[in-house]
Amino acid sequence: MKPTKTIWFDGKLVPWDDAKIHVLTHALHYGYAIFEGIRCNTTSNGPAIFRLSEHIDRLISGAKTYRMRLPYSRELLMGACLDLVRENGLEQCYIRPIVFSSFGELGVNPLQNPITGAIACWEWGAYLGDEGMEKGIRCAVSSWARIDARILPPQAKCSANYANSALAKMDAISAGYDEAILLTLDGHVAEGSGENIFMVRNGEVFTPTLDAGILAGITRSSVIQIARDNGIPVQEKNFTRDELFVADEVFFTGTAANVVPIREVDGRVIGSGHYPVTKMLQTVYLDAIHGKVEKYKPWLSYVR
């Protein structure tokens, strides 16, 4: 990670090296933090943040679920993201807001601790590699099940959820794959460790429903809209892993990942090795985030 000039830390812009917390910070011990991942991309009108309000709204909803009283308004957080990118002089970056139970008391109950927020940004390339974006990645179904709504609320982007993601991701990487696909406790396909999943069959696109323990991905909703706008039917429905094996195309979506074809699942090559629907959605999505599609310009917040 290449440091940038400044980080927004509890309301102020501070030098990168000064954005520090105590080792007894409550969230470090119990995972009680809500975060976001947002991208800012180059456009012909300078850098633009993609779907900023949706990301901040998801952060606020996650905080509500976890009974966090945020000391910042929605407008303040949105403004802070824009100021931060501008101050750092970046044309393109990943933005990471986080709100967490900070320093005060230890012990599971977070309610007596203050909530602190920080927002950092840095340059972050293709999450699953440039080659993955182009040629597709290799995935394995994980032996770890995806968190279930009775265990941790999957809709809240809570740091604790990512212990589940990290276990699946590490095992996939150690076994020589690029990414893990997690199933629900009852055996339906849920999502990747940090991406939503889709499959294409006979020209139709399918993706698991939100009650499959998945994050309500903002890229997922953008891609659903792009598909429908281009005459491709999309159905939210749950399916088992064997349906992935015989799909024509399978792909991941996510802020960090963008739209990435999956060329292999558990050693089975997907479809014909060509991904016309995925490639079309990837192209339009990339054009949209770079401000090249008139219709999707309302999704952008310009930094300057």
Residue closer to ligand PPE, measured from CB, 102 or 255: 255
Report helix angle 218-229 to 52-65, nearest 10: 140
Residue closer to ligand PPE, measured from CB, 88 or 196: 196
Segment contacting ligand PPE (CB under 6 A): 82-90, 193-201, 228-236, 243-251?
193-201
From 20, 135, 157, 297, active-site residue? 157
CB of residue 283 to ligand PPE, shortest distance in Å: 17
- Dihedral of CA 132/40/115/65: which sign? negative
CB of residue 106 to ligand PPE, shortest distance in Å: 26
Report helix angle 52-65 to 74-88, nearest 10: 130
Residue 215 engages ligand PPE in binding (rule: CB under 6 A): yes
CB atoms within 10 A of CB 27: 23
User: In the range 152-181, which residues lie near ligand PPE by CB under 6 A?
Assistant: 165
Segment contacting ligand PPE (CB under 6 A): 10-18, 68-76, 78-86, 194-202?
194-202
**Annotated catalytic residue 135:** no
| Cβ burial, residue 46 (10 Å; 0-12/13-18/19+) | middle
CB atoms within 10 A of CB 262: 28
Residue 219 engages ligand PPE in binding (rule: CB under 6 A): yes
Distance of alpha carbon 35 from alpha carbon 239, whole angstroms: 29
CB atoms within 10 A of CB 160: 16
Residue 286 engages ligand PPE in binding (rule: CB under 6 A): no
The bridge status of strand 234-236 relative to strand 204-207 is: parallel
Which residue number places its CB atom closest to ligand PPE?
Answer: 37
135 contacts 263 by C-beta, under 8 angstroms: yes
CB of residue 161 to ligand PPE, shortest distance in Å: 7
Of the candidates 85, 8, 13, 81, the residue with the CA atom closest to the CA atom of residue 46: 85
User: In the range 12-51, which residues lie near ligand PPE by CB under 6 A?
Assistant: 37
Q: Which of 92, 102, 142, 255 binds ligand PPE (CB under 6 A)?
A: 255
CB atoms within 10 A of CB 98: 17
Residue 194 engages ligand PPE in binding (rule: CB under 6 A): yes
Q: Which of 178, 179, 195, 264 binds ligand PPE (CB under 6 A)?
A: 195
Residue ranges binding ligand PPE (CB under 6 A): 37, 165, 191, 194-196, 215, 217-220, 253-257
Q: Which residues are catalytic?
A: 157
